[in-house]
Structure 1
């Protein structure tokens, strides 16, 4: 992540400052890639493992969502302040501390033996990921000469993409052969190598004393985000019109309003409101929200469909999901090249349009259709997402005031996590809304709702089985429509900014190149 400690009035963003170069660039790149690979792997291994976690720990459908959302929310809230802490106390220290905490929480998740414990340590794992991720780019910036930084960014993005693409397959093999706990235990040897390498080769960066940490802003934003996701998830059991659901949504609105008030008054705001004077920044944020709302929310449901509805093993399901993640590897660089040639406005709209098309095609899938009816849309969605990431980043970072470029990059990454958390919660709620009345109309026990919402097939109850498929199709349409609406908004509301060269676009999109991270 780009550091966010740039004081008001700074006329060169952190991403463009030369600074004093320290350490060996190549060895520093290798060292930070251990932490990067570990976080990238964990961003996609969980989806395949979720059915095994649910069966082993007797987790409810709502708790299963929180296995993903606890991580995403903690990561979203902590990214910007973690970058600030790295600037203040040293990026090497924060990176190593993040890797250590990530390894400890990974072991704890596998050993804890209860779903409540898993959720607590998944949230702490998200904090650890937020601690180390901003430092990876900041350390590269402080080590590589400006003319070589683009190459480092390319390798950074490639390592991240490979780890993300391999996540489903690695998860499937580990869950099938050793158990779901091993998708977390595998982080330990990677972390040990990363810690040793970092301690030996990374040179510490100078601590920056300027600026403050907006503690109140962090608390208010965290509370607002948590309240929104919690209300959506719990509405499945509370009811959408219940006093509890409405009350939590109201609390989220109040907390967000207070956050806006605080940000307008503090000297060093977490998210300066002046950032949003540009339509490109605001709409670019929506590009990331829609992209990851669809990608993470739909992936959650499709994994349940492949394993529980179709009866595939974890390794097979991982292979079946591979086209979506594998084609993300070439799609982002192609998207960056197109952005540099024809501009971010057209590429962002094109990317979200492709996603909408792929999602709409997936609505034709059911338990009897050919796998190719899934594989082709997977590839279309991968390219759509890959096009949307660098173009959306160029709209945000390129449209932000120069002295707020670092904060804009942090805002971009926060939109990724928030979009994924809300997408998982909303699309799962849509499925549950279809399943609950279907189960209620049968002789099945009430607790069958949890299994049916996860796509488990009940012999002799076709209406219940069909309700999950119907809910999945509605969710796909919701995600497709959202992508299409935001694509139209990009065309209508945003003026085409000046085109940047490929290296600049890649640098602006560096966090986004990590896709699900």
Structure 2
């Protein structure tokens, strides 16, 4: 890989200028960052904001629990499957065009969902949201890579990571406020004005940069094989955590199909003239390490965050808004630490900040494993803040390692790879940690029930209640259930949930430790200088 890559702007654009030039709005680095950040914020926020609205959607549209699950799963599946292909589209047709189409499509799909009166329409257009979200996420990274000078790229990626982290963590707060004070439809309608602003800014500010040796053809077979592999993998993960379980035949059939498709994809990519993902990219040990690191980070972060919301709302009885406010230390620390991480990475390289970030993440996970039903706000805030401080350099550094070690003409593919790794890790973390937690709940519930001295027979359906830490309110009216007995049942549900959550956090902490070792294999991107000073317009 060379350290310089020739890049050209879109033809016949009279406003062409060198990277970093500040004359006019078109192509201004910091305005480019501001423009793409709005679009990225919309997609990242949507990943968690909708979860708050799901119970209300279920009641309003008369949906089943499985249908509501697919409001989230359909979005995740489409996003994960399309990301790398969408990145290739940006490399081929230009990241500016791909980003703008993604923004317009995402906002339009959101508006249609808001007007839907059927859960089938909601799920269908959530899938479409995922496809358009996949278009704009890698394109945003491609635009930053091509626009910023090398010495400022890490700072830009730091702010970009801050936007993603803060939006992801802030989704429950925004969603809670909208659902409580407006309607569930407002969770989707809010994307329309945001999308209009992002589209208007993009049309005025964003400048198209394309590598001279960008791909000119499409690897259709590669796209089909990779899409089938990603679909089979994510489908198996979702269904294993949702209903099938990890030992079922269906789960292993789809996991086997994923492995087969990945192998066929790898073989095909060595034979086609212009591959979708040149396997030579992975000869870069830092790029491969960065990809694995992103999977492990998302495994710990997304999987852990899933349990935190149930802990706050179920065990502590908080409203969605209150639980979101209790996550502010995590959000604020990511906002503060991400740009700082970008500066540290620029000065010292990514290795030390990445290792330190994963160590801090591991300590936070081990700390959260000690939370109990009686833990106070201060103790929770300490661990949440430490988690945010640990995640920030990883979000920034792993992104720089992946994108910076890929050739400029493959920056879209690299951006798609980074996002796909995050989606796979998040899905895997939620499913695997969920299975760990369920197994622990199943093992502990009966013993906790007996230890509480409850003479009533244990209803098997209470195992599901223990998995969210809440005793069913209707149980208080059941024959033989006095207020004292109901209080003891509530205590059993909470204690059992916390024991399962603690084990899940211990596993997440162990994964973070492994990620810290992987981080030792990272280094600054070989092509980082091609992001700015080495780019010729």
How high is the TM-score relative to the length of structure 2?
0.78
Larger Rg: 2
Deviation of residue 385 (structure 1)?
Answer: 0.8
- 1:222-371 to 2 correspondence within 5 Å? 222-236=227-241, 237-371=243-377
CA contact (8 A) 2:441 2:463 kept: yes
**Residues 231-290 of structure 1: CA distance to partner in whole angstroms, max 9, x if unpaired?**
233335334333222222222222222222222222222222222223222221121111
Q: 1:92 to 1:189 in 2, by over 3 A?
A: same
Q: 1:59 to 1:487 in 2, by over 3 A?
A: farther
In structure 2, C-alpha distance between the alignment counterparts of 1:130 and 1:406, rounded to whole Å: 11
Q: 1:73 to 1:326 in 2, by over 3 A?
A: farther
Deviation of residue 480 (structure 1)?
Answer: 0.8
Deviation of residue 94 (structure 1)?
Answer: 3.0
Deviation of residue 363 (structure 1)?
Answer: 0.9
CA contact (8 A) 2:298 2:426 kept: yes
CA contact (8 A) 1:25 1:140 kept: no
**Residues 407-466 of structure 1: CA distance to partner in whole angstroms, max 9, x if unpaired?**
4343223211221122122222333334457789965464x6555434433464354443
In structure 2, C-alpha distance between the alignment counterparts of 1:90 and 1:222, rounded to whole Å: 22
Q: 1:289 to 1:504 in 2, by over 3 A?
A: farther
In structure 2, C-alpha distance between the alignment counterparts of 1:377 and 1:259, rounded to whole Å: 42
Could you tell me which residue of structure 2 aligns to residue 175 of structure 1?
Answer: 179
Deviation of residue 481 (structure 1)?
Answer: 0.5
Answer with 429-438 or 294-303: which moved more: 429-438
Deviation of residue 354 (structure 1)?
Answer: 0.7
- 1:182-221 to 2 correspondence within 5 Å? 182-199=186-203, 210-221=215-226
Deviation of residue 380 (structure 1)?
Answer: 0.8
In structure 2, C-alpha distance between the alignment counterparts of 1:211 and 1:335, rounded to whole Å: 37
Task: Say whether 1:478 aligns with 2:482.
Answer: no
In structure 1, C-alpha distance between the alignment counterparts of 2:531 and 2:332, rounded to whole Å: 19
CA contact (8 A) 1:66 1:119 kept: yes
Answer with 401-410 or 39-48: which moved more: 401-410
Q: 1:229 to 1:195 in 2, by over 3 A?
A: closer
In structure 2, C-alpha distance between the alignment counterparts of 1:232 and 1:158, rounded to whole Å: 28
CA contact (8 A) 2:237 2:427 kept: no
CA contact (8 A) 2:228 2:261 kept: yes
In structure 1, C-alpha distance between the alignment counterparts of 2:426 and 2:101, rounded to whole Å: 26
Gaps of 5+ in 1: 1-8, 508-517
Task: Say whether 1:453 aligns with 2:470.
Answer: no
**Residues 118-167 of structure 1: CA distance to partner in whole angstroms, max 9, x if unpaired?**
43322221111122233345456667788887776666556556545543
Q: 1:359 to 1:141 in 2, by over 3 A?
A: closer
**Residues 356-398 of structure 1: CA distance to partner in whole angstroms, max 9, x if unpaired?**
1001111111222112221111111111111222332344344
Q: Matched residue of 2:327: which SS?
A: helix
Q: Matched residue of 1:327: which SS?
A: helix
CA contact (8 A) 2:402 2:525 kept: no
Q: 1:370 to 1:60 in 2, by over 3 A?
A: farther
CA contact (8 A) 1:342 1:499 kept: no
Could you tell me which residue of structure 2 aligns to residue 130 of structure 1?
Answer: 134
In structure 2, C-alpha distance between the alignment counterparts of 1:451 and 1:184, rounded to whole Å: 30
Answer with 34-43 or 155-164: which moved more: 155-164
Q: 1:293 to 1:49 in 2, by over 3 A?
A: farther
In structure 1, C-alpha distance between the alignment counterparts of 2:211 and 2:348, rounded to whole Å: 40
In structure 1, C-alpha distance between the alignment counterparts of 2:34 and 2:8, rounded to whole Å: 21
Deviation of residue 95 (structure 1)?
Answer: 3.0
